[in-house]
Chains A and B, each alone.
Chain A
Amino acid sequence: MSAPPEPQVLRHPLVRLARVAVRHPVVVPVGAVVIAVLIGAVIIAAAGLDPLTAYAAVLSGAFDPDTLDYTVSVWAFICGMALVAAIPLRMGEFNLGGNGQLVLGGLAAAVVAGQSGLPPLLAVPVAILAAAVLAGAFGAISAPLATRFGIPIIISTLLLSPVAVAVVSYLLRFQIGEKGAAVAQTDRFPESARMWALGDLSYTNVGLIIVILLMVAYWLVDSRTAVGFELRVVGANRRFGAYGGVRVGRLALGAMAASGAVAGIVGAIITLSAPYRLTDGALLSPGYTFAGLAAALLAGGRPALIPVTAVLFTVLQVGGAAMERSADVPRQLSDVLQGVVIVVLALRTVVDNRRSGEKGAR
């Protein structure tokens, strides 16, 4: 083998600087956030506004004790959707169809919850289960599309999502919608079919527990089980996995099904929470799917990091609105910041990969 010429990236000053950076996995995301915050500050200042007040507003808006309840509930949803992205990400696949899976979950939950008669103790679990099954099955479709027809999962999920969204809003409008309502939405669910409350909190409910359990489960599976190991192996080198006896096709199927199921569960939780009905578009407008994807990317799919990165995007989301209210900084800035974080992160991770890759050359 001939020696490859030294890649010019190694000579890049930024890189030299970055090579000094600590090795701990958390360092990369943190650095990305810091840089992003600085860039954001520049943008705010350029817009003739005061970065400090803006950021202060974001933080106070997000952590204001009065609204903490709400903030936590949003955090739970973003964590949930981060799992949706993270599971396939672990094996090197992108699920961009979270929206479709989310609304299908909402639909299933709404249909089950709508059928009152189910005893209180059963209604919620059954609704959530139904959501998981329907959304999971839908998510799973992308796996055979990839293994049989070679359509990348990133593409098929992307194309399938709007179809699901359209079908759900059609059903809401013409089939299961409330009569005489001005917008397409279901009737309110009976008391028996509403998400169990946590104390007297009005936003956060048992859904939070469920999401936390899901995250713990993912963390265990990822680090402690054969399946999790196989996910990471395939993510690192598909051929190696196949040679080692991993059934890549099945693994992809399982991962996509799990991913979709989680999305479905999140959809169910949101739907079964106040105001206890499924309203057309209400599941998508907060943009949990992309916030979750961003959090997952920022965490590199690592289970332990997701709750942390999710906090960031929760703050940006909840605080963004507050920032607009009190500091008159347009809320779009939170999208800007999220975007910058991800891009900066992508560039930073390269540096790390480079470091190991360069050792790999010899």
Chain B
Amino acid sequence: MTLTASSSPAVELSGISKRFGAVVANDGVDLVLRRGSVHAVMGENGAGKSTLMSILFGLVTPDSGQIRVDGSPVTFSSPLDAIAAGLGMVHQHFRLFESMTVAANVVFGAEPRRLGLVDRRAAEARVRELGERYGLEIDPRARVSQLSVGERQRVEILKALHRDATILILDEPTAVLTPGEVSSLFAVIRRAADSGTTVVLVTHKINEVLSVSDEVTVLRDGRVTGRFSTGDTSGAELVHAMTGRDVLEVSNQGDVTPGATVLRVRDAVVSEGGVERVGNISFDVRAGEIVGIAGVSGNGQHEVVEAILGTRSLARGSVELQGADVTGWSVRDRRAHGVAVIPEDRRGEGSAITMTIAENLTLGHHRTAPIGANRGIRRGWISLRAQRARSRELIEQFDIRTPSGQHTAGSLSGGNAQKVVIARELSYGAPLLVAEQPTQGVDVGAIEAIHGRLLDYRTAGGAVLLVSHEISELLALADRVLVMLSGEIVAELSRAEATSASIGAAMSGATAPTATATTNTTTPATGVRR
């Protein structure tokens, strides 16, 4: 289905190809962005969206293909060229100077000057003026370090607008926003589009696409698998274009009856710099059940996980593991007592990229048999043979793609790196498993495998706490879903009650299911890559 030209193309990408080693990130991609339109680009993890955007913004040079801006061909060797050509990009991760003011961040690199100095007054005026024009009000003098995630994103957008961007690229802008922030962001996007700005929106979320975009291009494995005008398409159609099939198979049959309580959190409060990140929450997780925690990231879920593991201390409240109050315990003791954690940040927290895969698989097992020993004469010693054997076994079991366990973890692809973390944590056989965004950044096949393992874990009598942004993931796996919003549990839904409508509503703080949420009850479980 093609579109009837409504307005002239602001940007035309034709035949863009890019490969990284063996991976073909983009393969002959054509993309046409019409001036003043909101163009959504969709696709699973690794489909090539970010790469395409990076190429458009001059961060990556394509192997082949051509870019036209306003009809005339251009070649971007650096973001500078792209900026000069009127493009602006808001990255998946913010790139802000925390210690500086909003104004400083906005004008950085293109400062208004007076007498050769940064004209702060002009800078602040500029921020206010842009703010009013696009509905991005924010205090120019505020320190970024004091801003909320949503406000920070406004600063990012202002940075682009300050450089007179007429083509705005937003790469997964909503992944980290609260529903409220999402809707106000969409308002900004619409306003920008109506005033002639061309907006490219990269996202996984069907409902967002349907609610804000004019046109949609879907990528799979680096190829374009569909172009739609939002008006005459449906969620199901888009999903099919993205995945090439219908929703995933593995799902929780609710066939296990929960046993004893393994984790008991009571009146937990986590505060940071005076701000309450987690406000007084209580919940249990029992053996043989998967409890999901839904919520847009940044609503305290991560802090809860840290508090359970012990890398962060509670301001108030208590954590009980298998009946023992572990509130004051060290991470080491808690792990020994029976908790395993799949962390959100696998590179920064879940692994040491300069060490070997075998060593990465060893941490946490190094004081217990078979690799280590916690009593007897071998206490404190490590058996390298056992270490090698174990890594061979896990690499095999979890199908980690690597020549050998003696290669560095840094040499692994994102998905395989994640498998190393999961393999290590699952192999503790701990009574409690906390899985935080376990499928982020891994491909569909792996997602299914991981989901399968989580279900087996629970079936084997383990207690699982699953933290995810992905409603669908929770629907597929969880026996119960807790919804967190700004540090508090705002809803607890049984399997029966839990629908993407009800969860979405609770996540956004609304009471009734929202219109957009109901339209797609079948979002595939594509984890948000962060």
Touch A–B, Cβ below 8 Å: yes
Point out residues on A near B: beta carbons under 8 Å: 1-5, 223-230, 232-233, 236-237, 239-247, 353, 356-357, 359-360, 362
Residue among A2, A236, A357 making CB contact with B50, cutoff 8 Å: A2
Q: Cβ of A236: which chain B residues have Cβ within 8 Å of it? A: 352-355
Residue among B311, B355, B359, B366 making CB contact with A242, cutoff 8 Å: B311
Residue among A225, A226, A229, A362 making CB contact with B20, cutoff 8 Å: A362
Query: Is B146 close to A, CB under 8 A?
Result: no
Residue among A5, A240, A356, A362 making CB contact with B21, cutoff 8 Å: A362
Count A-B contacts at CB 8 Å: 113
Check if A227 sits within 8 Å of B380, measured CB to CB: yes
| Closest CB in chain B relative to A336 CB, distance in Å | 32
How many Å lie between the Cα of A247 and that of B20 in the bound state? 39
| Closest CB in chain B relative to A231 CB, distance in Å | 11
Check if A226 sits within 8 Å of B366, measured CB to CB: yes
Query: Is B133 close to A, CB under 8 A?
Result: no
Query: Is B59 close to A, CB under 8 A?
Result: yes
Residue among A223, A224, A226, A362 making CB contact with B413, cutoff 8 Å: A362
How many Å lie between the Cα of A230 and that of B367 in the bound state? 10
Chain A residue with Cβ nearest B336: A245
| Closest CB in chain B relative to A51 CB, distance in Å | 38
How many Å lie between the Cα of A245 and that of B430 in the bound state? 14
How many Å lie between the Cα of A241 and that of B18 in the bound state? 37
Check if A2 sits within 8 Å of B330, measured CB to CB: no
Q: Cβ of B66: which chain A residues have Cβ within 8 Å of it? A: none
How many Å lie between the Cα of A236 and that of B284 in the bound state? 36
| Closest CB in chain A relative to B530 CB, distance in Å | 9
| Also in contact, A225 and B355, with CB within 8 A (given A5-B60, A242-B311) | no
Check if B50 sits within 8 Å of A1, measured CB to CB: yes
Check if B410 sits within 8 Å of A229, measured CB to CB: no
Check if B372 sits within 8 Å of A226, measured CB to CB: yes
How many Å lie between the Cα of A236 and that of B352 in the bound state? 6
| Closest CB in chain A relative to B312 CB, distance in Å | 10
Q: Cβ of A2: which chain B residues have Cβ within 8 Å of it? A: 50-51, 53-54, 57, 59-60, 91-92, 171
Q: Cβ of B25: which chain A residues have Cβ within 8 Å of it? A: 3
How many Å lie between the Cα of A362 and that of B23 in the bound state? 9
How many Å lie between the Cα of A233 and that of B360 in the bound state? 9
Chain A residue with Cβ nearest B351: A240
Task: List 6 A-B pairs, minimum CB-CB distance, nearest first.
Answer: A360-B410, A245-B332, A236-B352, A2-B54, A244-B363, A359-B411
* Residue interface bits B78-118, CB-to-A below 8 A is 1, else 0: 10000000000001100000000000000000000000000
How many Å lie between the Cα of A228 and that of B381 in the bound state? 9
Residue among A230, A242, A362 making CB contact with B331, cutoff 8 Å: A242
Chain B residue with Cβ nearest A242: B311
Which of B342-350, B451-459, B468-476 has 4 or more CB atoms under 8 Å from chain A? B342-350
Q: Cβ of A243: which chain B residues have Cβ within 8 Å of it? A: 309, 311, 331, 341, 343, 349-350
Q: Cβ of B78: which chain A residues have Cβ within 8 Å of it? A: 5
| Closest CB in chain B relative to A277 CB, distance in Å | 40
List 15 other contacts, CB 8 Å, given A240-B352, A246-B363, A362-B21. A1-B529, A3-B50, A225-B380, A226-B367, A228-B382, A229-B362, A229-B382, A236-B352, A236-B355, A242-B331, A245-B336, A247-B330, A247-B332, A360-B410, A362-B413
Check if A240 sits within 8 Å of B60, measured CB to CB: no
- Interface pairs (13), CB distance under 8 Å: A2-B50, A3-B18, A224-B381, A226-B366, A229-B363, A233-B355, A237-B348, A237-B352, A239-B348, A243-B331, A359-B408, A362-B20, A362-B413
Check if B410 sits within 8 Å of A357, measured CB to CB: yes
How many Å lie between the Cα of A59 and that of B457 in the bound state? 65
Interface members, chain B 145-194 (any A CB < 8 Å): 171
Q: Cβ of B334: which chain A residues have Cβ within 8 Å of it? A: 245
Check if A3 sits within 8 Å of B60, measured CB to CB: yes
Q: Cβ of B57: which chain A residues have Cβ within 8 Å of it? A: 2
| Closest CB in chain B relative to A357 CB, distance in Å | 7
Check if B354 sits within 8 Å of A245, measured CB to CB: no
| Closest CB in chain A relative to B425 CB, distance in Å | 10
Check if A360 sits within 8 Å of B411, measured CB to CB: yes
Q: Cβ of B60: which chain A residues have Cβ within 8 Å of it? A: 2-3, 5
